[in-house]
Amino acid sequence: MFELIFLGTSSSAPTVTRGLAAHVILHRHYRFLLDCGEGTQRQILRSGLGFKRLDTVLLTHGHLDHILGLGGLISTLARWENLDHIDIYGGRATLARVHELLFKVVFAGHRPPIEIGLHAIRPGDVICTDDKFTLTAFEVSHRGPDNLGYLFEEQPHRPFLAERADALGVPFGPERSLLVRGEAVALADGRVVQPDDVLGPALPGTKYVHIGDVGRTDNLIEVARGADALVMEATYTEEEGGMAVDFGHMTAARAAALARDAAVKHLILTHLSRRYAEREIRQEARLTFPNTFVARDFDHFQITRDEVVRVKKEE
């Protein structure tokens, strides 16, 4: 399962109810901050998440409404939190702007009190992987170079078939844990039980795709294919579709068309222009893809295989 908390859902400029782009993704012991618009540190405090273990930042691109909050956040982390390092991932052009912000403005003339790792990544790079999940970057088309999206994908797993284990006389305890890990076990009567005896066919893990600002979708169909949740921007409606093209952004209808064409299960829209009410974005998207949410600041989603639960109910 992945948990997603929206900290900022406005585009370009904040509104009274919406901050600038920032999201926290939780998976087991991992915590990722994806984008960091102005005011993100206050949104983290208001959300109740706090700063502990928030030491990995993923950036979609280098526009200021997605990175400007890093200065204040890292300054606070350095002074008040028990963190000795923070790792920031993004495209080369994005990190060049972040370097200017942090080392020529925030910490100009002195060494930062925590280690700041700037990690340039390219499409296809694996940022994090273990036996449970993989986090990979992919290319996104927006204004300027080095725009990225992020794919969070659990590894396939074989379900443990308790009824088979019962029939074979496998006792409760470490023997079953070993079989789940793929190791054979010897029973007290001398019989050896193999993992294939008690594990079912492999099932795909949860797939969650996160796209920041984006101007085209034809190159995203395969990476989004079959995703349990697709998060992406919907800055405009089709009424201003020409402006969306001019500025390399997305309309609600075009985002919904990607979700439909890629056989996505759930679509979550964010990065709304202040010119629209939430219902306008939702109504336009649902004409093409009914299973659409429009995120609000502090919305909390739990993403599992085939299901997305909005923990904070719509008002």
Q: Is 61 one of the annotated binding-site residues?
A: yes
Show me where the domains of the chain are located: 2-157+202-310, 162-198
Active site residue 65: yes
The length of the chain is: 315
In angstroms, the CA 255 to CA 235 distance is 10
Exactly one of 65, 228, 297, 299 is catalytic; which is it?
65
Are 23 and 296 in contact by the 8 Å Cβ rule? The answer is no
pLDDT average, residue stretch 118-130: 97
Determine whether domain 2-157+202-310 maps to CATH 3.60.15.10: yes
Check pLDDT > 90 for residue 81.
no
Confidence category of residue 313, pLDDT binned at 50, 70, 90? low
142 is in an annotated binding site: yes
**pLDDT tens digit sequence for 99-117:** 999 999 999 888 888 899 9
Residue 210: other Cβ atoms inside 10 A: 25
213 annotated as ligand-binding: yes
Annotated binding-site residue? 99 = no
**pTM, full prediction:** 0.91
- For the segment 51-66, what is each residue's pLDDT rounded down to a tens digit? 988 999 999 999 999 9
